[in-house]
Amino acid sequence: MDPERRLAVAYAPEGARGALLTLWRLDATLADVVRTTTEPTIGRMRLTWWYDALLALDDGPPAAEPLLALFADILPERGVPPARLTPLIDGWEALLDPLPLKPDALDDYARGRGGGQFRAAAALIGVDPPDGIDAAGQLWALVDLAFHISDPVTAERAITAARVVSTQVPRRWPSALRALGLLTVLARRDAGAGLAHRPRPGAPRRVIRGLWHAISGR
């Protein structure tokens, strides 16, 4: 798991940390589906399986998949419907389009994976999402894509879109949501620096910035 996401979990309320780790695991699992897919049709079928399996948690015991078993316990406990997680699947599916990604596909990815994940995280924490949470999630997802995708045109489009959406994110985060705030402030920093300055997770300046956010919410 990305070390900065692991650090972000430490900023979440103690009772929600396990749920957030499970949400990050779902994101990583969907990323693996996309990364290991060579035929888009097969990739969409695999993502559809996850979509249907998550929704089926409303109807009975989960399929024989450990991650689903965790969600079968976590979601009712936190009062979150399985449908809250399905936008992540829609977002990752957009990356199965041919490269370079067109702006519409990039937007679908950012809204689904980023906005969907931040809204799901807020629901699991048990806090009403603030204005701008969708933009914050989109910023984080676009920056993450820009620094991990091999296609330079898509990377440039993603970082440009991230800079645009960064103007809409919350400037101060409530204490319960500082896990998401940390990811947002670091993503905003990386979007401003650009693709020539690849972030180094755990670098001293990033750690200091994270500590200041934990104290101030900014």
31: closest CA among 84, 92, 88, 85?
92
Start-to-end C-alpha separation, the chain: 25
Q: Report CA torsion sign: 179, 117, 166, 3.
A: positive
Which residues touch 174 (CB under 8 Å, ≥6 apart)?
A: 127, 130, 217
Q: What does the DSSP 8-state code read for residue 46? A: H
Mean pLDDT (10-residue bins), the chain, 218 residues: 83 95 97 95 96 91 85 94 97 97 97 98 95 97 96 97 96 93 94 88 77 80
pLDDT at 218: 83
Q: What value, to the nearest 5°, has the Cα angle with vertex 119 and ends 72 and 151?
A: 100
Which residues touch 207 (CB under 8 Å, ≥6 apart)?
A: none
Distances 3 to 9, 25, 45, 48, 200 between C-alpha atoms, Å: 10, 13, 30, 29, 10
Distance, in Å, from the CA atom of 160 to the CA atom of 156, rounded to the nearest integer, reads 6
Distance, in Å, from the CA atom of 143 to the CA atom of 160, rounded to the nearest integer, reads 9
* Residue 181: HSE in the Cβ half-sphere, 13 Å Cα cutoff: 25
Measured in whole angstroms, how far is the alpha carbon of residue 70 from the centre of its chain?
Answer: 19
State both tokens at 131.
Answer: 């204005």
Which residues touch 30 (CB under 8 Å, ≥6 apart)?
A: 47, 50, 88, 89, 92, 113
Structural domains of the chain ordered from first start? 3-216 (1.10.600.10)
